[in-house]
Structure 1
Amino acid sequence: MDCLFCKIVEGEIPADVLYQDEKVIVFRDINPQAPFHALVIPRQHIPTLNDIADEDCELVGYMLKIAGDVAEEHGFAEDGYRTVFNCNTHGGQTVYHIHLHLLGGKPMGWPPYQETLKTPV
């Protein structure tokens, strides 16, 4: 399989790993968008959110729990943080192995992008 994140899971590509267990790996994003930016990825290859099966729901919930634990460990859980899943091209997904972005360490506004929408949502 030619998946970047699978190669990280297998140890073929190095990563700044913050946490790992039998289900997930958490590592720092190489292009951080906040003072703290890590990715929570499952060891199991699931390409997009659209590919999550019923039996994967517990794993996705576990990813969110681990994100909260990492936020606590790194001291920004109480101040707050953002978690984001991107899905497919329009959602901004660039690696087709589901991953949860964990961003913290600064106040974050809403909407996240300040661009003008050209078409109604």
Structure 2
Amino acid sequence: MAGVQAAQPPEVDVSKTSSGPAGGYNKKCIFCKIVNHEMGTELLHSDEELACFRDIKPGAPHHYLVVPTQHVGNCKSLSKEHLPLVKRMVEVGKEILQKNNVTDLTDVRFGFHWPPFCSVTHLHLHVLAPASQMGFVSRLFYRLDSYWFITADQLIELLNSKGDTN
């Protein structure tokens, strides 16, 4: 989009990050490679915690992925401690939409694919807008109340309830 400047990302010292699935840098993960500028993908947002880029198979006119800069597993592996991260992912998604002149934030879809229906195991939030312009296949892939897709609000509610039943 014209007029959108990507923030200059911080330099990451890969030698100081882990290569395991729990955090840091996973050299086999495509999203870790994107965040670390190894793929040539344009980052629409980048800071110490999160990055955002366009989905390569857009399901709507605006389809972005917001990912943690450190490798975090899929949404099923999250705990209550991840609530601030998930909420911040949603906020960055909203900011990117607004920077791209999406003003109707009621016609958007924020969500995650539920394992095993994830093509990449690095946590990533799908930001789609306008949801009303999603095609038939996209409506299936990002369908509300399905076994394979959970909205950001549903994930936040699920994480909030973790640990409450002792």
TM-score band by shorter chain is: 0.7 to 0.9
2:118 pairs with one of 93, 96, 103: 93
CA distance in structure 2 between the aligned counterparts of 1:72 and 1:37, rounded to whole angstroms: 13
Report how many residues are paired. Answer: 112
RMSD: 2.3
CA distance in structure 2 between the aligned counterparts of 1:24 and 1:62, rounded to whole angstroms: 8
Name the % identity: 32
1:55 and 2:85 matched = no
Unmatched 5+ stretches in structure 2: 1-25, 142-166
Contact 2:68 2:124 in 1 (8 A): yes
- CA deviation profile, 1:49-74 (whole Å, cap 9, x unmatched): 12113332211110011111111111
1:102 and 2:124 matched = no
2:34 corresponding residue in structure 1: 8
Which structure: greater strand fraction? 1
Which structure has more relative contact order (CA 8 Å, sep 6+)? It is: 1
- CA deviation profile, 1:5-56 (whole Å, cap 9, x unmatched): 1111221112121111111000011111111111000112111112113332
What SS is found at the alignment partner of 2:140? Answer: coil
Unmatched 5+ stretches in structure 1: 115-121
1:82 and 2:109 matched = yes
What SS is found at the alignment partner of 2:48? Answer: coil
Which structure: greater helix fraction? 2
